[in-house]
Structure 1
Amino acid sequence: MKPARPSKSPPLELPEVCISEDGGVRHLHLETPWIQGSMRIAKPIDLELEYVQRMMAWLLFVPPDDVPQLHAMQLGLGAAALTKFCYKRLGMRTTTIELNPQVVAACMRWFRLPANDERLQVLVADAELAVQDSDWHGTVDALQVDLYDDEAAAPVLDSPDFYAHCRQMLTAQGCMTVNLFGRTASFRRSLEHIAQAFGADAVWHFKPTREGNAIVLARRDSSEVSSALLRSRAEEIERRWKLPARLWPHALQAFATTGETA
């Protein structure tokens, strides 16, 4: 387990964390109405939001039996949904990089985030520097990137260089999933930056959810995976972990084939 080593001190002024509840669902906000993450109070480990469920689509590209031996990393904690799911439901070694210590504290108090242990590390650090740390290179099997500030206008980190560093973090069979807003002018630019770093043949994407979130997948290994294998794994994912995975193979679009935005 890599020791907790902060990348740098966080900025002096970070947005305050706010909590709201509606219909049995608890939401995390950063000083604005924008929802940064959610948890159904009665089912704290389940993934409540559709786009967060789709952030798990990397599971299509690995044998299900191998999952507990893999390493997941989240850039951006949000309401800790992905962190808890990977750590508790999938039994993975899990690392999270979060800039705002208030978010970590709120997740521990309000969103059932466990304390760090031999399999879980939540680090207060800067994701931009963390991805450049050579100690992480080639160690991450599932990299989940969801980096939005309180304005939620565009990803905070979104350059070809940033995505190239993300690619370096991945194992040979590793996959990155990124949350983007699919109905904004920045989506095409972000998609092209990811394709520039990973290669067009390695990039897939979903159409936006009702809320506008479009999930992009980028694999370090761009070799072709058969439709039959994807369907088979989707059925197994749904059976084991109760994710709506049977929809994913039909909804995923290969960037190299379509060349279109979501």
Structure 2
Amino acid sequence: MDHSHASFDAYLEFLATPPASGAPVVLETEHALSLHFDLLATQSFMSRHDPDRLVLGYTRTMMGFLLLQPAPTRISMIGLGGGALAKYCYRYLPHTRIVAIEIDPRVIALRDTFHIPPDDERLEVICADGADYVRQHDGRPDVILVDGFLAHGMPAQLGSAAFYEACHARLNGDGLLVANFVEDDPHIPYYLEQVRSVFGKSLSIFVGEDSCNYTLFAWKGATRLPSRDTLLARARALAATHPLNLRAAARGLKQGIRHATDGAFGQKLAGSQN
């Protein structure tokens, strides 16, 4: 069989039959599987050769939490998608409990397709509204990763002050919130205002690795981050146990503090999206 031809045929079929009513659709080619809610955006991407590898750059940037929380006891993930972050953490953080909250049962039904391990004492996938779950049931995570999207974009409740307050209350004393925002989301300046109202100056936002997405980091505890040199040293040390290059995340964390607390940055974002 000509696999390249089969992949091209699969892509043409995908373009000819767009997802209906926001239903998740899997595009399968010779080398990869990807998850889509429409023809314009890729929700998740998996290499067939290495299913646990973080292919999309923004997911690698989100793993920058390791610079501040190298060995979390518990991670909560809002949004499962194709399970890229869940699989990576399950493989490379063997002493961490992972809870993934996904609102769409049709997405959860694809977990075997994307090689997401079955539930066990370290991994649990829960079908629920992520904002409600954090407010009512979420234990005391060291890290909360927010990457929850539906066909129309990020649900409004995941960008509200009430949600960020719930995350702040749930996180451990030096816990960390990391959120993915799509570049063309016109509400990013509003999200920043809501996060600032809860976390104060303890936040940073910058463009993710090899992507147009913005990644937000907000943390409890000390307002000041470690120095840039310290973060870069941690990135180099983490490379021994993680197939990640976190140097860009280390630099972005420091540079993004100014963006997160600068009203002009929010105005610039709003202007670029009009």
TM range, smaller chain: 0.7 to 0.9
**Structure 1 residues 34 and 156, CA gap change in structure 2 (3 angstroms):** farther
- Is 1:73–2:80 an aligned residue pair? no
CA contact (8 A) 1:205 1:216 kept: yes
The offset of 1:17, in angstroms, is: 2.0
C-alpha separation between the residues in 2 aligned to 1:61 and 1:14? 40
Q: Aligned Cα RMSD in Å?
A: 2.2
Alpha-carbon distance in 1 for matches of 2:231, 2:191: 26
Match of residue 6 from structure 1: none
Give the structure 1 partner of residue 63 of structure 2. Answer: 56
Q: What does residue 103 of structure 1 align with?
A: 107
Q: Residue in 1 aligned with 2:120?
A: 117
Tell me which amino acid in the other structure corresponds to 1:50: G
CA contact (8 A) 1:204 1:254 kept: yes
Distance in 2, matches of 1:128 and 1:257, equals 25
Higher mean C-alpha displacement, 36-45 vs 249-258: 249-258
- For residues 48-104 of structure 1, the C-alpha deviation after alignment (integer angstroms, 9 at most, x for no partner) is 100011111111113x3xx1x511110000110011111112212100101111111
Aligned partner (choices 30, 34, 54) of residue 27 of structure 1: 34
Q: State which structure, 1 or 2, has the greater radius of gyration over its C-alpha atoms.
A: 2
1:250 alignment partner, SS class: helix
Contact 1:183 1:208 in 2 (8 A): no
Secondary structure (helix, strand or coil) at the match of 1:19 reads strand
Taking the aligned partners of 2:168 and 2:261, their CA distance within structure 1 comes to 21
Contact 1:146/1:179 (<8 A) preserved: yes
Q: What residue in structure 2 maps to residue 185 of structure 1?
A: 186
After TM superposition, the score normalised by the length of structure 2 is 0.81
1:177-197 Cα offsets, whole Å, 9 max, x none, are 001123442111112211112
Q: Give the one of 130, 133, 136 matched to 1:130.
A: 133
TM-score, length-normalised on structure 1? 0.84
Aligned to 2:13: none
| Fraction of identical pairs, as percent | 28
Deviation of 1:206 after TM superposition, in Å, equals 1.4
CA deviation after TM superposition for structure 1 residue 210, in Å: 5.6
Quick one: which of 83, 86, 93 aligns to 1:83?
86
Deviant stretches of 4+, over 3 Å:
153-156, 208-211, 255-259
Counterpart in the other structure of 1:39: 46
> d(CA) in 2 for partners of 1:155 and 1:49?
24
Structure with greater proportional strand content: 1
Q: 3-state SS of the aligned residue for 2:44? A: strand
1:45–1:89 Cα contact (<8 Å) kept = no
CA contact (8 A) 1:26 1:39 kept: yes
CA offsets 1:165-188 (integer angstroms, 9 cap, x no match): 111121111101001123442111
- What is aligned with 2:4? none
C-alpha deviations, 1:129-176, integer Å up to 9, x for none? 10111x425x10111001211122665521111111111121111101
Change over 3 Å in CA distance of 1:23–1:176 after alignment to 2: farther
Q: How many residues align?
A: 242
Name the counterpart of 1:3: none
Q: Gapped runs of 5+ residues in structure 1?
A: 1-12
Deviation at 1:31, TM superposition (A): 4.9
